[in-house]
Structure 1
């Protein structure tokens, strides 16, 4: 599987403007042979837009989902993106994955909300992160702060995930997340982690970029710098690496009785 990751500057809070931009990205990476594109957290309607989260949130299966499914089918490229989901009176920080046929194969509501803004805007997710088949690969889904907790990545690995997708919105000052924690989650579980961030200012927040595709050896298959960019890389497999560089901690772990 060829994976694309887009690290954009924050967009407007108008979905009518955001969706055509996303379509341009999908078209562009699909023309380069990408099978999957991963976008940041809350790309719809924007991360640092608390006044819009409740006002613009949509139900699962609404217009945004329909648009993403149509794009995936039109360009033959799976899409992973973050968005604000309404369910009854609650709003969730959610992420969904559509496969190349336009079918929704993965959906998740963020468990670990970060900071005052998120906790004021969203309800905590209550369902475990999913594992699903994507292009023949067992794939899991987390959002931003979730990946900083070893337990969540380990739960996905226990469900036989080989790939973990992580839409994120990581500010400057937190470089230890892509540079250390994401790599550690990949290494200790022998999985690939795709961590897609924004870059640049969004009101009072400045995002730190440094999006990364971390391989099962814990090293960067590809990593962005501070500027807007698109990464494209082939999904690595543990069998691509010498045995001594792949951790066996997952299979060796023992529990206290």
Structure 2
């Protein structure tokens, strides 16, 4: 982690994103575990904010989570996967992951963003929800890539276009990025396995929504003939 932070800082990155379960362990880690104090010290030394995916343990269960630390190493937000990926058993024998219900729109020196973990990005409702709460960038983190890379890119591109929101997907070691108009963004290869993605400043009107109609369409007594 120290090496990654140093490389990102040297390249002038504004945020380092570490993938799903970057910090992992058999029983998970509490959100205020000593490990975060140690990592916070590394973040403060590098002076660059960090979004860290980890296996979170708390009284209510075990979650795929991501914690945002600011440039001083202080934890400022946490989120959990609503639809954790369960397509493959954990070969390390780590604890199972529960469904989370904690989505977050975070702000750092750049645009407001949300981290969607596991299978969250595969469900359009999740991306829509964080966009409506102000997210301008969606970071989709999944430990394992999809079997079909073309499908993976199509999903990420669709989420970007339908929400007029930049989307960056890190699926395993596979990185894809799309601007809010659906156009692909080419990551710049960099040192020590760190990739830089430059997000363009574009002004896009958000798609029109009719939430009052959608609510009527899903009420229990709706009859379809």
Q: TM-score range by the shorter chain?
A: 0.7 to 0.9
- TM-score where L is the length of structure 1: 0.72
- Give 3-state SS (helix, strand or coil) of 2:20's partner: coil
Pairing 1:251–2:207 present: yes
Contact 1:84 1:91 in 2 (8 A): yes
Q: C-alpha offsets along residues 110-165 of structure 1, whole Å, 9 cap, x if unaligned?
A: 110222637971121122x1112111421212113101111101101100111122
- Give 3-state SS (helix, strand or coil) of 2:138's partner: strand
Which of the residues 33, 57, 60 maps onto 2:12? 33
Q: CA RMSD in A?
A: 2.5
Contiguous gaps of at least 5 residues in structure 1? 1-21, 46-51, 200-208, 240-245
Pairing 1:91–2:62 present: yes
Q: How many residues align?
A: 207
Contact 1:167 1:196 in 2 (8 A): yes
Q: In the aligned structure 2, how far is the partner of 1:87 from the partner of 1:120?
A: 12
- Give 3-state SS (helix, strand or coil) of 1:105's partner: strand
Contiguous gaps of at least 5 residues in structure 2? 217-225
Which structure carries more helix by proportion? 1
Shift of the alpha carbon at 1:33? 0.6
- TM-score where L is the length of structure 2: 0.81
- Give 3-state SS (helix, strand or coil) of 2:84's partner: coil
Which of the residues 96, 100, 104 maps onto 1:121? 96
Q: C-alpha offsets along residues 20-40 of structure 1, whole Å, 9 cap, x if unaligned?
A: xx1101101111111111111
Going from structure 1 to structure 2, the CA distance change for 1:114 and 1:172 (only over 3 Å counts) comes to: closer
Pairing 1:188–2:162 present: yes
* Structure number with larger C-alpha Rg: 2
Contact 2:30 2:58 in 1 (8 A): yes
Q: In the aligned structure 1, how far is the partner of 2:42 from the partner of 2:151?
A: 31
Pairing 1:44–2:14 present: no
